Amino acid sequence: MTGMDIAELLGNLGDFFGAIAVFGTIIYLAVQVRYSKHAVEANTRALENQHKLALAQAYQVRATALDEAHRERGESTFMPPIAAKLRSGTFADLDPEEQSRCRDMALATFWRLDNSHFQREQGFITDSHWEHMTLPQIRKMVPIWQDWGVLENVDMRPAFGMLIDELGAEIERSSEAKTTA
């Protein structure tokens, strides 16, 4: 074996090990890119969840303030006699001041349930709680809100408005079915 043969052999070995090194580097980079992609996706999900939580907290503050304002006006020494009148009569039997107090109480309930609906949309209320607790309350309040004019001039979220419309139509169909039966 001559010097040229040895040099050629060493050159071939260098090319071979260089190719293996390049292949190993490509595999390493592919693994790193994959891990980086997963880290970016996890970070994006975390940021989205933080954004949802911030929205939910801001909405909670708004709903609580509105709830407290209307509840404060509605809850007074006037409410027990008004409640007694409602048990024996209708909303129309109340005087304008009593009707206004009832609307304030109903508005407080509206804002609390609207907030619960928003919290559910953000994923902070379980389906079970929604189906067994919140939705029945909304279903119970829709006819009251409609009869008492609570929904007039209320700037509600479109999603909650759609739910109220759907429940109102469902309640209307149910009462029509009962009257025809």
DSSP string, 22-77: HHHHHHHHHHHHHHHHHHHHHHHHHHHHHHHHHHHHHHHHHHHHHHHHHHHHHSST
Contact 118, 160 (CB under 8 A): yes
Ordered by start, the domain boundaries in the chain are 3-180
Q: What is the DSSP letter of 21?
A: H
Phi and psi torsions of 10, nearest 5° = -65, -40
Q: How far is CA 122 from the centre of its chain?
A: 3
Least confident of 54-63, 79-88, 97-106: 54-63
Rounded to the nearest 10 degrees, the angle between the axes of helix 96-121 and helix 135-147 is 150
Helices then strands, each counted (H, E), the chain: 6, 0
- pTM score > 0.85 for this model? no
pLDDT value of position 101: 85
Looking at per-residue confidence, does 170 or 177 come out higher? 170
Residue 72 has a pLDDT of 66
- Are 83 and 50 in contact by the 8 Å Cβ rule? The answer is no
> What average pLDDT score do residues 115-142 get?
89
φ and ψ at residue 77, rounded to 5 degrees: -65, -15
Q: What is the pLDDT of residues 21-58, one digit of tens each?
A: 888 888 888 888 888 888 888 888 888 888 777 777 87
